[in-house]
Every structure is written in structure tokens, then in C-alpha cells.
Chains A and B, each alone.
Chain A
Amino acid sequence: MRDTLLLGILLLSPLVTASLIFLISLFFKNTKQTIYTLLALAGSGISAAIALYISYHSYFEKQIFSSHLFTWLNIGDFTIEVALKADALSSFMILFVAPVSFLIHIYATGYMSRDKSYGRFFAYFNLFIFFMFLLVLADNPIIMFIGWEGVGLTSYALIGFYFGDIQNTYAGNKAFIVNRVGDFGFLSALMLLFLSIPSGGFGFSNIFLSLAHIEPFTLSLIAFLLFVGAMGKSAQIPLFVWLPDAMAGPTPVSALIHAATMVTAGVYMVARFAPLYNMTPEVSLFIAYIGALSALFAALIATKQYDIKKILAYSTMSQLGFMFMALGVGAYSTALFHMFTHAFFKGLLFMAAGAIIVAFHHKQDIRDLRGIKFPKIFIMMAVASLTITAIPPFSAFFSKDAIMGALYASGHLELFAMAFVSSILTAFYMSRLMVVLFFNKGEQVAKESPKSMFYPMMLLTLLSVFAGLLNVPELFGGDLNFSHWLNLADKIYTIPHAKEWALMAVNTLFIALVIYNTYKKYAYTNAIIVEKNYGWVTNKFYIDEFYNKTVVAAIDKLSHFFEKTVSSFLIDEKINLTALAYLKLGKIVSMTENGNVRFYALYMLLGVVSGFVYLYWMLRSAV
């Protein structure tokens, strides 16, 4: 009962507030913003508090919260339950999803304060958290899929939030459609699972028990298709093209959905299916390669971008690539830990970018923003940048270094090399961004950000710095608390301490060198202006154009073909013909309804007579 209450409130409070905000904004045009603010913060605040409570009990007392709400479908011996469960993994997810959501909500009250669609924004925003909670708390993949689709839907709505500009709507469409490709994979995997699992429930525990009965090929196919879903949601090669465009949404959206939470759903899903992926090493390796390629590719593109948010978007994709690399070699909790720290520092980076964008009248090009004066934001952004480049002792140092260690120890040195190069590139594009923004001559001075934007950022800064302490490797005298808590089917890699030290030192040294060189190149020079902005990297390797020419054009041709032949000729015409015939027949039948009682009585008599004829015919032989 207590579990049901806690999980129910956690899940429903954002939904309820979202509906309230929606209704209020629909029916009362002149509502004060304060009411929306209160509702939105209440919805996310309550769930954040409960989430902290749950993860506290999960972490310290190893409690599992579960709640069976109702049976959704009951067909034969197969049931689909609507059940929520907060085991260690789910508790871990809500531990950062809920508070980060809450903080970004507070931030958004400042960021959006002058927007006329304030209510609509928070209705979507709260709805998003509801679906995100549904995704991570679901006890079976079907409910998880509902959450999965729900976050996609709200993401779509929020990318196209400023629908006055048609480009934003296109960006939303792009995100939605590309994600459909991934969803198709996810859904196919679920159907295959559904067919392969003998009987009983479709809950995660039952699925994992039945995995051994599935033949290896099907199992690999399921694992692969699930990962296709993850590719779409977590923006990995080849389904990443939507993420940069998704930056068309308001910046809090980019911070919450396209950096901290939703895009990590793919990572969460793969970790959730860890038992499956442990049985299909070839798919796991594939994941690692996709992750490595994505990390490298995105980092490379980020070096030639000029839009703050686009740089950060590619950086998100690159960091997600790191996580998938770790997942691929079986270091699940390491990947999740990087996701955890990433939520803080990437959320913070986006929020800082948002603060800059607001302060400088919606300029986003770093060439226009050279040498801005914004001291508080500078400090926080600098911390976040140092974190993402994995400078010790900031949090990402621990998480990224653990990934590098795992990659090295797994024996796939090519993966390690790609990760290393990506990490160097990360250092480069982040310091390029920072140096161009803050270490140049310029007259633009910002006025202070509102408090509602400032304090959440400050809190996230602290978290970016210290979150790493939660999973200190034994090298530094820690005992990997998180990994023990999560208790996933990790592959354990151990490498000698000396080697670990060496790796770390080399890595850090290189990063420091890159930062120094970048400073020298960009600080107080016009290098950013004169650098060539054409060529393959700047144009993102022409991936969009390539997709448009091949996939999109092909589908377009095919659709035209179907539209002309199959749809209009084979289907529409035939259906219309049937309908017309039906109408004609109806007209004929309606003649019997001529309004004359004598006819009606006649029909009845006919019915009686035919009934008796039947009875006679039937019983004649029987008696």
C-alpha cells in the first residue's frame, strides 16, 4: 500500500498538474503566470521529493518498491499488468531524473517568463516528466514502451514549441520521424519477445528467466532490434540526425529532454536488458562500435560548429557514444554512472547557454558572442566544461576514466583508441567554445540572470563537481558504491594499478595540453573568424544531404507509386464501389419501410411462417 501510494503520487503528480495547467490555459485566457508556476513546480517538486525518498531507501536499505496497479489485458494465460517497480536501477534513474527535472523547471520559470505560451510550455514539460517516470518505473517492456513513446511525443511538441516559424515544426517532424524508425525496431523486438516467451507474464523478471529458452539467432535479433530503438532515442549513428535540429526548442527543453533525461533512455533500456545483452556478445560488440563511431563522429563535427546549442548537442551525442561503448563491453554500471554525471554537467552547460542566449538577445553564434562579460555564468560554465573534459577531480573524471579503463581492459584497443581521440576532441571543442566566448576582446556586458535561473544552475554546479564522489574507484580508496548498489550483470575488469595510473596520467596530460593549445590559438585573436568554415566537417559530412538523396528520396518515390496505383486505384476505388453498392442496396431495402402497418404486420407473419416451416422441417425427422 505504501509502495503504491508513493509510486502512484510520484507518477501522477506531474500528470495531474499537466492536465490542470492544460485545462486552465484552455479555459481561462488571462490566468496569472504565478498559478502556472506554482502548479508546475508542485508537480515536479512532489515527485522529486518522493524520488529522493525512494532512492534513499533503495540505496541504504536495499528496498524494492513495487506496485501492481491493475491488469491491463488478460488473454488466455497471458497477462499484461500495469505495474510499477522501483528496483535499484529504476531508483537510480529517478534519483537524477526527478531532481534535475525539478531544477530545470525552476530555471524554466525564469527563462520562459516573458513567453505568451507559458502555460502550454509547462503543460508539456510536466507531461514529459510523467512519461519519463513511466518509462523508468515500468515493470514490463510494454508499459516502458508507453513511456518511451510518450517522451517522444512531448519532445516533438516541445521542439516545435515556437510553431510560428515553420522551420521549428520541421525540426519537430524530423525528430519524430527519425524516432519512429527506432521505435519500429523497439516494437519489433517486443513482438519477437512476445512470440518467443512461452507463457506467464511479460514482466522483466519473467522475460529474463525465459531468455534461455529462446534460440540464439532470435535472441540476437531481439537484442539488435532493441538497440535500434536505443539508437533512435539516444541519437547514435545512423539515427542521430534529429538531435542537432532538436535545438530549435526552448533551451530548458534542450537541457532537460535533449541532454539530461530523454536521450539517456536508450542507455537505460540497454542496461535494463543487461541479461539479454550478456547472452549476445556479438550484438554487444556492435553496440560498442556504434557508440565509438558516434562519439568520434560527433566530437569531430562539434569542432567546427558555431552555434552554442549545436556544439552542445553534438557533445551530447558524443557523450552518449561513450556510454554505449561502456555498455557494449559489458560495463553497465560504469555507463550508467557516466549518464548520472552527464545529466548534471550537460544540463548545466545548456542552462548556461540559455542564460547567455537570453542575456544577449537570442544570439547563438559564438562568433557574435566573442568576449562577452558574464562573470557568474563564466565560472559555472567553466566548471561544467572542465567536468566534461574529464579534468580531475570533477565528477566526469571518475565516470569517463572508468569507461576508458573498462575499454582498455576489455582488450578492444581500437575502441579504446577511438574513445581516447574523442576525449581529446572533446577537450578541444569545449575549450574552443569557452575561449571564444570569454577570452576575447568585446564590449557586450550582460545584466544579471534572474534568481530563478541562477540558483538551479548553482546547485547543478555543485553536483557536477561532487557527484563523482559517489562512485570513487578503489584506486582512490573508494569502493564503487554505485556499482554495488545497481548490482547489474556487469563484466568485471581489473587492470593493474600501475597501468591505471598511467592511463589516467596520459589522458589528463593530453587533455591539459589540448586546452592550453586551444587557449593559445583562440584567446584574443580572430582565429575563429578566419578559420575556414566549409568542407566536410563543417557540413556535418553531408549526412543530412546523403539521407535526403537516398532514404528520403527513395521512400518518396515509393510513396508516390503506392499513392497512384495501390491506394487510389486498388483500394479507394474498390472501397467506394462497395460503399456505393451498399447505399443502393440500402435504398432498395428501405422501400420495405413504407410506413404502412399492414406491410409491417405482413413481415411479421412471414417471419412467423418461416419459423414454423423451419420447425416443421427440423422436427419432422426427429419425432
Chain B
Amino acid sequence: MSNEFIALAVPALLLFSAIFILLFGFSSHYTKNRGYFITLATLFIAFIISANGVGTKYSILILPDIFNSMVVYDTFSATFISLFLLGGFLTLAIAKSFVDKTNFFTHESFVLLLFSLFGMVVLTMANELLTAFIALEIASMSVYILVGLNKNSLKASEAFFKYLLLGSFSASFYLLGMMLIYAQAKSTNLDVIAEYILHTELHSQLLIIAGSMLIMITIMFKIAAVPFGAWVLDVYEGASLPITAYMAGVFKIAIFAFVLRLFLKDYITFDAIYDPLIIGGALVTMFVGSLLAVIQQSVKKMLAASSVVHSGYILIAFASIGEATSSAASAIMFYLFAYFISAIGAFGVLSYISKGSDKAINYDDLDGLAKTRPIIAAALTIFMLSLAGFPSTIGFIGKFYILTSAIEAGYTFLAFFGVLSAFVSIYYYFKVVMHLYFKEAGHVEVHYGYKVSLAFIVLSGVVVLWGGVGTSLLLDIPGINALNELSRYSIESLGF
């Protein structure tokens, strides 16, 4: 498959499939099951196609005559696209039981899911600020509505409105920032801006610096960094579990894909100016995030708060990007993968045992699960260990790379703080494990059914472990080395 074909086929497939379901939804032949499986198949095929582009190093402009170098397809975007297509696929596959047991997953929900993925694909390939904005909004709009999918739940509607309001508010910063940059660089193309920065003095870059910071604020909002991410608890709580997983795991990857491109192409020259800001953001994010996570009673809210902490870890690597470019950038990629696979698994387990009910799952609801459902308990334990960064899970390797990149960049104190908040995170993650294994509960054995969901949960658990000890002993399954190589490759394809 030629790379150009892949670059066009993946978004086209997502878009056409979305439109097809949109129309099919009105036909009398439509059932929820069919819609579900069409979406799942689309995601799978798109993933397979996209995975073909991973591996070799290249960078092409897609149809430059039409798109005028607004979109670029390189190993970097191919890797990220495959990553979140896989994420979308896994989320949906695990959510099978949840989808079946609830009545608000109408055909529009699948359409919206595909639209949001389409937006993310374009966002990842965007080489230009305006394209990126449109793509970001396509994805965000779809996610807003997905949050409020359950119209009967007051909480969901509230979350939807909050997210929409604040999201629009933050988007205005982006537009303002873009305007400022355009005023000075006379272009919104990342390469042109980079060229401009390279050839001018600092005093004629002031608007770009200010504009870039405004854009960064939108991004900080999207990744829920403190103080821009105050929405995260309410919204994650209000959204139904698969959607929360989708936002925490998949949506974040796409955002980071764009930020990483932005950073490596343009911001890197302003590294000295931005570093203190990012470091401050990382510290506050990790600290406040872990404070919030510690006091939560509901497991879902704890995971939401801890996702803030994980954004903080990634910000550590962003701060290190100027000094240790290649190791920090690949650390970010690796960490994103590590986090998404563990988070999707963890949320997946919650959605699996919630059986589609609206009720928040508290720690106490997990009591004695290890006795009645040992496999689910073991899987959840693995995900918790990985999120806490326990050795021999993929989460450990992810943190290890992030912290080494920080030390390499000379930010030892930042690495130290990262370790400290990882230490605190043991408290709230192991609380889950403690409730699973060491609390007696008289509750009766529940049959959850849905072997498919369970199978994918177990699969994620295996990936988490495999990524942590990864060997090429038996089969050529990519382990740590391969994933690390992959991220290094794709970073290099950006031309750095």
C-alpha cells in the first residue's frame, strides 16, 4: 500500500462509514448490534490499513496541489493514528456489554465516535494551525455530544453543558493565538512559522510567543492540566464509562500528537522561555491531581483525577524536550501508549462490572471481587499496578523513560517530584487492589456474561504485562525495544 493511499483511505473510510451509519440508522433494518459491529469493523480495518504505514521512515505532503501542504503524512502521524484507532477499537470492543445494556447508544453515538476519530486523524496530520483547529473542533464537538449521550441522566447533561461552555471558552484562546501568530508570521503553516522564527530577531517574535502561549492554553485545557482542567472531574463523572475511557485514553493521544508536532517544529526555539511555565504547570498538575485523587470515594472519579496526574508526567517530558529532544519525545509516545492501554483496561473493567447502570462504583463495591471473579480482579490489579508504575508492567517502563529524559535534560528535581507523586499514587491505586483482595464481602456471585468484553480486557492486561517484560523469546511480538524504536523512528520522521 502506498503511503498516500493510506493517508487518504483512513480518514475517508471513517467518514464514509460514519455517513453510512447515519443514513442506515433510519432504515428499518438497523439494529443497535449492526451499528455496533459496523463501527467496530470500520475501526479494525482502518487500524489495519494505518498500521501498514508504521515502520519505515518517510514524510509526504498529501495532494499538495489541493491541500497546499496543510496536511502531512509521516511516520509520526501514522504511528499516532494507529495508536488511537487501536484505542478506539479496544474501547468499543470492551464496551460491548455496556452498549448492550443501556438504551442511549443510538446510531448517532456510533456516528459521533467515527466523526471524532476522523477529526483526530486530521488533527494528527495537520501541518497548519487552522486545519488543526477545525480538526480539533470536529473531534471536540463530537466528544461533547458523546458526553451528554444519556439524555435521561441529569449528571450527563450537566457535564455536557459544562464541557461545551468551557471548551468553547478555551477554543477562543486558540483562535486569538492563531490570529496573533498570523499577524506576525503572515502564515499559519508550521513550517513557514518555523522558518520565520529562525530568521528574525526576538523583538519581532513577540506576537508569536504570546500567540503560542494562548494556543498552549487551549491544549492545556484539553489535557486537563491544572488550572485549566477543573472540568475534568465533573465531566468524567457525568459521562458514561466507555466515553470516559475514550476521553482519557484516546482523545488525549490525538491532542498530544498535535502538541508534539507543534513543539518539535515551532516551540522548540522558545524552549528557554516556555520551560519554566511548563515545569510550573507540571508540578501544579501532578500535585493538585494527586491531592484530588486521594480523597475520591468513587473509583471512576479517582481514575479521572489520576488522569490529571498522568498529564503532569507527560508535561515533565515536554519540559525536557528542548534539552533531550529525542529521548523526551519518544518517552511521551511510549507513555501515551502505556497510559492508554492501562486506562482503557481499567475503565473497561469498571464499565464491565457496572453492567450499564448509572450508579457510581465506589471502592466498597469492589470488596471481595477477587473471590467471586478472580480473572476480572486480576486484570484490574494489573491495570492498577501499571497506572501506579509498578515494575514488570508497561506503566513502569513508561515512567522510567519519562524520568530518564527529565534527568537527561537536567531537571532532576522534576524527576524527583514525579517519583514523589508516583509514590502518592500507590495510595489510591492500591486502595483498589486492597478492596479487591483483602475485604470480605457477602455479596453473591454475579454473572456478567459478555465473553467478548472480558476477552478484550484480558488482552489489554496481557499487553500491559508484555510491554513491561517484553521479550522476543517466542514470537516477534513488539515488546519494549520495538515500541521504543517505533517512537524514535516516528520522531525522526519529523526531521529532527
Contact = CB atoms under 8 A, between A and B. Distances in A.
Interface stretch (A120-128, A291-299, A315-323, A605-613): A605-613
Contact of A604 (B169, B291, B471, B479): B169
A611 B217 contact: yes
A495 B234 CA distance: 89
* Residue from B173, B220, B230, B424 with most neighbouring chain A CB atoms (10 Å): B230
A123 to B, nearest CB: 17
B411 interface: no
B227 A69 contact: no
Contact of B165 (A69, A82, A597, A614): A597
Nearest to A588: B291
B471 A82 contact: yes
Interface string B287-301: 010011011000000
A411 interface: no
Given A589-B292, A597-B165, A619-B209, A604 B424 contact: no
A191 interface: no
A10 to B, nearest CB: 13
B271 to A, nearest CB: 13
Contacts of A589: 288, 291-292
Contacts of B481: 70-71
B427 A593 contact: no
Given A611-B213, A611-B217, A623 B202 contact: yes
A592 interface: yes
Report the 7 A-B pairs with minimum CB-CB distance, sorted nearest first. Answer: A586-B295, A600-B230, A603-B227, A586-B291, A607-B227, A623-B203, A586-B294
B182 to A, nearest CB: 19
Contacts, number: 87
Given A71-B481, A590-B295, A619 B213 contact: no
Interface of B: 161-162, 165-166, 169-170, 173, 202-203, 206, 209-210, 213-214, 217, 220-221, 227-228, 230-231, 233-234, 273, 276-277, 288, 291-292, 294-295, 424, 427, 471-473, 479, 481
Contacts of A606: 227
Contacts of B165: 597, 601
B156 to A, nearest CB: 14
B234 A611 contact: no
A78 to B, nearest CB: 14
Contacts of B214: 608
Q: Which secondary structure dominates chain A's binding surface? A: helix
Contact of B206 (A69, A597, A608, A619): A619
Interface in A583-598: 583, 585-587, 589-590, 592-593, 595, 597
B170 A604 contact: yes
A1 interface: no
Nearest to A11: B473
B295 A623 contact: no
B230 A593 contact: yes
B169 A601 contact: yes
A209 interface: no
A608 B233 contact: no
Given A70-B471, A579-B427, A586-B291, A608 B230 contact: no
A615 B273 contact: yes
B206 to A, nearest CB: 7
A599 B209 contact: no
A70 B291 CA distance: 40
Q: Which secondary structure dominates chain B's binding surface? A: helix
A622 interface: yes
A590 B292 CA distance: 6
A541 interface: no
B217 A69 contact: no
A603 B210 contact: no
25 contacts: A70-B471, A71-B481, A582-B291, A587-B295, A589-B291, A589-B292, A590-B292, A590-B295, A593-B230, A593-B233, A593-B292, A595-B234, A597-B166, A600-B162, A600-B230, A601-B165, A603-B230, A604-B228, A607-B220, A611-B217, A612-B213, A614-B277, A615-B209, A619-B273, A623-B203
Interface string A52-76: 0000000000000000011100000
A8 interface: yes
Contacts of A615: 209-210, 213, 273
A69 B473 contact: yes
A324 B150 CA distance: 75
A615 B231 CA distance: 26
A572 to B, nearest CB: 15
Given A70-B473, A70-B479, A606-B227, 15 more contacts: A70-B481, A82-B471, A586-B295, A592-B230, A595-B234, A600-B166, A600-B230, A601-B166, A604-B170, A604-B228, A607-B227, A611-B213, A618-B276, A619-B273, A623-B202
Contacts of B228: 603-604, 607
Contacts of A601: 165-166, 169
* Residue from A579, A599, A615 with most neighbouring chain B CB atoms (10 Å): A615
Contact of B217 (A585, A597, A607, A618): A607
Contact of A585 (B161, B273, B291): B291
A600 B227 CA distance: 8
Interface in A562-593: 579, 582-583, 585-587, 589-590, 592-593
B124 to A, nearest CB: 25
A309 B187 CA distance: 88
Contacts of B162: 597, 600
A119 B424 CA distance: 42
Nearest to B232: A593
A623 B210 contact: no
Contacts of B479: 70
Contacts of B273: 615, 618-619
